[in-house]
Amino acid sequence: MMQKVWVQDLGNIEYGKAWDLQESLLKQNLEKKSLWFGKSDEERPADIGTKNYLFFCEHPSVYTLGKSGHMENLLVNDSRLKELDVSFYKTNRGGDITYHGPGQVVGYPILDLEKFFTDLGKYMRFLEEVIIRAIAPFGIKGDRLEGSTGVWLDVGTPDARKICAMGVRCSRWVTMHGFALNVNTDLRYFDYIVPCGITDKGVTSIQKEVGHPVDEAEVKQNIRAAFEEVFGAELAENELNELLTVA
């Protein structure tokens, strides 16, 4: 059965506020699932009321460190962070350190994977496939790098570089966090970290690859279309103003 995913663009939002929103919706889904935990298939209704969301947003400049990350991959101290006007968060997502900032399209899917499939590895490959399809219309061939998440270009060559970073959290098959696609991003901010803890490969953006700024709204539309295709889902607009108050 095709699943409905409620989609909303949060615009430019501080990282902590977006994180709080994700946590609140994940908690709501977990509370609904807990009502039926341990029940038999006969007792459990076909729809237990969990909801799927996809948020687009952009963050003011921020470095985020995953739960398995290493602080030494942040190459600047607190005073330098203040000079750069960049905030910093230790997060509960997977992965190491990355940068979010203006010109980047960030996506946060909050999905009940039990409505899709219960395979976290497959989920990550699906997210990668969404981005691979979304950047293809710009003449960019995305690929996967064995042993590393995200979307890469020129894999297997000395010029291998990442265009989209990914890191997620999954609790009882409910996801949060997601992907960060460099569109018109100022890539100089990656010079102050070891992106994703990988020292021998670079970072790129759609703008850098095509040689000019691109329309971020077009990129988001590409992602929406690819998300529907890859996940077999229906994306529907939803007003979540009442939920945004938690952030």
Q: What is the DSSP letter of 164?
A: E
Residue 196 bears catalytic tag: yes
Q: How many domains does the chain have?
A: 1
Any residues with CB less than 8 A from the CB of 46 and at least 6 apart, and which? none
225 annotated as ligand-binding? no
| Percentage of the chain exceeding pLDDT 70 | 94
For 147-203, the pLDDT digits (tens) are: 899 999 999 999 999 999 999 999 999 999 999 999 999 999 999 999 888 877 899
167 annotated as ligand-binding? yes
126 annotated as ligand-binding? no
Distances (CA, A) of 244 to 13, 22, 23, 55, 167: 11, 10, 12, 12, 23
Contact 29, 49 (CB under 8 A): no
Where residue 179 sits, what CATH number does that domain have?
3.30.930.10
For 196, the domain range is: 3-244
pTM tops 0.95: no
- The active-site residue, picked from 57, 164, 170, 196, is 196
| Percentage of the chain exceeding pLDDT 90 | 84
For 39-90, the pLDDT digits (tens) are: 666 667 777 889 999 999 999 999 999 998 999 999 999 999 999 999 999 9
